[in-house]
Structure 1
Amino acid sequence: MGVAERKERHKEELKKEILMAAKELFMEKGYEATSIRNIAEKIEYSPATVYLYYKDKDEIMHALHQEGFKMLVAYFGTLNTIPEPFGRLIAMGRAYIQFAMENPEMYELIFVMKDPIDHVASCADDSWDEGDRAYDVLFQTVVECQKSGDFQGFEPHGLSFTIWSTMHGLCSLRISGHLGHVAEASKVKPDVDSLMTYTFETFTGVLEKIR
């Protein structure tokens, strides 16, 4: 490996360290309470080093959003093997839950925290490519369902947002611990994983009824 390649590898590794440190601090302290100096101290570098790669916290947050949505789209990668659009839609819901459960901090950062949305918008040019791509996978699947005869009479964006908001609510309740509290308080006493599975299956049953 040449000198230039080693420098490029070091640069990419350091950028990853900065992002991971920033993510941890944003989750622990909140966006506003975290400074570039805090991030630099966590990776044991000077603030000037962080500024070599990111001009400010907004840019760091934007980079984290890019990474998070790329991860989510990767979870959708196997959906193309499912030819029937309604089956693909249900599989997408399972993939979305899997992403949230396996990456709870990233999920909270890109979908729950208020500050990131404002700052991501300030960094984006005219569009939010990563977020748009993730939503487009859902929207195009709903459109394909309608072309196949399902969900007739529903406005596709409205239906897409209804599906997404339901899945988001379920995942957010699970990650926050609120779903666990419901499970504990329930007279039936289902464990939280069973309650989540049951809720998802109930929702897919509703979609089945209205298709």
Structure 2
Amino acid sequence: MPRMASQERRTEQRREQREALRERILEVSREIVRREGFASLSMRKLAEAIDYSPAALYLHFKSRGDIARALRVQGHASLRDAFLAHTSIADPAARLNAMGRAYVEFGLAEPETYRLMFMELAASAGPSSEARAGSPGDAPGNGDAHAAEPGAATLSMIADAFVELRAADRLPARAAPLACAEGLWANLHGIVALKLNGAALPETPAATLVELSLDAWFAPANRTEPRFSSANRPDTSTR
């Protein structure tokens, strides 16, 4: 029995060491991606950064494409956590506003991670990355099932709020909750993508753009007060 217990301890120690090295690889990969973008990440650069041989890295990740998928999963988990912080908001419209702001804040605070999650072409992640970059509602692609799951969960939180709005008759009659959720996500992604790409437009603050995106989904008859102050409302006066 003592010998078996000793063997089990050694097995557990080896497992912990492997897991610690895997987390170290991902930690350093995240830092390289944040500083330089995913295009700058290579297995050789990563091996040098953690002072391991490239062969040791391949025991944990077969390619940089595998690292990309793991980083996408972590990015989606972080975005989901940002949404979860607002799920206790009772009013679904206010909840959507808070989650929309959280989405844009995440994208602008973690630009390279966001690009990797939603804007990197599959080919740029390496030959083993056949699947698309993890979009929020995608069905799992080849080898990218784990990245799709947290994205789908986040989309579901948005859709749930629209379901509540539908039940309260606060959506236009023909607006399906899931379609609204997908449309809002597309709007939010557009805001982030334009900001990250340094486009001349939009000049409007991101928080106001989120509110404008949400404004399109709510029936005017259900509003009791203006959603924007005069300072934020677009100028529609004739000139």
Which TM-score band applies after superposition, normalised by the shorter structure?
A: 0.7 to 0.9
- Pair 1:203–1:70, CA change in 2 (3 A): same
The higher radius of gyration belongs to: 2
Residues 18 and 127 (structure 1 numbering): CA distance in 2 closer, same or farther, change over 3 Å? closer
Give the CA deviation at 1:42: 3.2
Given the alignment of the two structures, is residue 95 of structure 1 paired with residue 120 of structure 2, yes or no?
Answer: no
In 2, the alpha carbon distance for the partners of 1:101 and 1:26 equals 12
TM-score by length of 2: 0.69
Pair 1:76-2:76 in alignment: no
More helix by share: 1
1:118 to 132, 136, 140: 132
Q: Distance in 2 between matches of 1:164 and 1:204?
A: 10
Q: Mean alpha-carbon deviation: is it higher for 20-29 or for 84-93?
A: 20-29
Partner of 1:156: 177
Corresponding residue number in structure 2 for 1:189: none
Query: Which position in structure 1 is the counterpart of 2:164?
Result: 144
1:22-37 pair list within 5 angstroms: 22-23=29-30, 24=32, 28=36, 35-37=42-44
* Greater mean alpha carbon deviation, residues 43-52 or residues 61-70: 43-52
Distance 1:35 1:102 in 2: 24
Aligned residue identity for 2:110: N
Amino acid at match of 2:151: G
Q: Distance in 2 between matches of 1:125 and 1:82?
A: 30
CA contact (8 A) 2:37 2:112 kept: no
Q: Distance in 2 between matches of 1:146 and 1:45?
A: 55
For 1:173 and 1:83, locate their aligned partners in 2 and report how far apart those are by CA, in whole Å. Answer: 31
Structure 1, residues 132-191: CA drift from partner, whole Å, max 9, x if none? 11111112221121112121321222211110111100011112222xx337xxxxxxxx
Aligned with 2:209 (options 192, 199, 202): 199
- Any idea what SS the aligned residue of 1:177 has? coil
Q: What SS is found at the alignment partner of 1:202?
A: helix
Count of residue pairs brought into register by the alignment: 198
Which residue number corresponds to residue 42 of structure 1? 49
Contact 1:25 1:39 in 2 (8 A): no
Q: Structure 2 counterpart of 1:49, which letter?
A: A
Q: TM-score, normalised by structure 1?
A: 0.77
Structure 1 residue 86 corresponds to structure 2 residue 96: no
Task: Single out whichever of 199-208 and 41-50 deviates more from structure 2.
Answer: 199-208
Q: Tell me the alpha carbon deviations over residues 5-34 of structure 1, each in whole angstroms, 9 at most, x when there is no partner.
A: 776665444323322444435984755x85
Single out whichever of 155-164 and 2-11 deviates more from structure 2.
Answer: 2-11
Where does structure 1 lack aligned partners over 5 or more consecutive residues? Answer: 184-191
Unaligned runs of at least 5 residues, structure 2: 1-8, 126-130, 135-140, 223-239
Q: Which secondary structure state, in structure 2, belongs to the residue aligned with residue 80 of structure 1?
A: coil
The structure-2 alpha-carbon separation of the partners of 1:66 and 1:125, relative to structure 1 and needing over 3 Å to count, comes to closer
Distance in 2 (CA, whole Å) between partners of 1:29 and 1:77 is 27
Question: CA 1:195/1:207 → structure 2, altered by over 3 Å: closer, same or farther?
Answer: same
| Counterpart check, 1:165 vs 2:175 | no
Q: Which SS does the other structure have where 2:170 is aligned? A: coil
What fraction of aligned residue pairs are identical, expressed as a percent? 25
How many angstroms does 1:202 deviate by? 2.6
